[in-house]
């Protein structure tokens, strides 16, 4: 009687095929998860960069319009998008300061105004607030 020999095996068994399939499935899943996460992060970064540039310009515009033209709301277009802004005065404090030059003092009266600006991406049907920043300025 001849002993059973594995030398004449000509293919893969069903177990080997299943194990290889599971390993392949796990590796494809991991690669697709990493790719999806990377793509989402790139999209978030692009949106945050766009908003950061827009808010820098909006902040300058709002400061000018509120401080010199006394506007409390308006809109600003940047890179094909329209942003709406609204200013709310948080606090007004009277300030007195004294400036001494060559031994002579002079008093300066004024008001320090702290204001908050909200930026919206759309007004209708419901406004979506995308940023808020605070600033202060001195008014004589």
For residue 5, is it within any domain? no
Sheet containing 81-101: give its strands across.
73-78, 81-101, 104-120, 129-139
Split into its structural domains, the chain has a count of 1
Stretch (H or E) spanning 31: helix 14-69
Query: So what's the pLDDT on residue 97?
Result: 66
| CA-based R_g, the chain, Å | 33
pLDDT in tens, 78-129: 878 888 899 999 988 887 666 666 766 666 677 888 999 998 887 667 778 8
* 76-88 per-position pLDDT tens digit: 888 788 888 999 9
Residue 27 belongs to some domain of the structure: yes
pTM as predicted: 0.58
Q: Would you place residue 45 in the very low, low, confident or very high pLDDT band (cuts 50, 70, 90)?
A: very high
- Alpha-carbon distance 85 to 80, whole Å? 16
* 7 within a domain of the structure (yes/no): no
Looking at residue 109, its pLDDT comes to: 73
Tell me which residue range forms the domain holding 135: 14-139
Residue 4: predicted pLDDT: 59
Could you tell me if residue 72 is inside a domain?
yes
Q: State what percent of residues in the chain have pLDDT above 70.
A: 84
Residues 89, 73 contacting (CB under 8 angstroms) = no
pLDDT bin (cut points 50, 70, 90) of residue 12 is confident
- pLDDT at position 21 is 95
Q: Judge whether 2 lies within some domain.
A: no
Q: What is the DSSP string of 47-58?
A: HHHHHHHHHHHH
First to last CA, the chain: 113
Q: Which of 37, 139, 35, 39 is nearest to 95 (CA)?
A: 139
What is the share, in percent, of the chain residues with pLDDT greater than 90?
31
Mean predicted confidence (pLDDT) in 24-45: 96
Closest CA to 114 of 133, 91, 132, 138: 91
């Amino acid at each position: 009687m001849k002993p059973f020999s594995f030398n004449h095996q000509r293919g893969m068994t069903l177990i080997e095929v299943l194990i290889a399939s599971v390993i392949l499935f796990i590796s494809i899943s991991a690669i697709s998860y990493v790719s999806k996460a990377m793509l989402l992060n790139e999209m978030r970064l692009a949106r945050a960069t766009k908003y950061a540039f827009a808010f820098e310009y909006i902040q300058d515009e709002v400061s000018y319009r509120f401080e010199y033209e006394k506007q409390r709301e308006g809109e600003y277009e940047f890179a094909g998008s329209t942003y709406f802004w609204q200013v709310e005065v948080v606090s007004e404090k009277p300030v007195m300061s004294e400036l001494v030059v060559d031994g002579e003092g002079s008093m300066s009266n004024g008001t320090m105004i702290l204001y908050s600006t909200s930026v919206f991406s759309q007004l209708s049907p419901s406004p979506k607030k995308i940023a808020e920043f605070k600033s202060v300025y001195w008014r004589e």
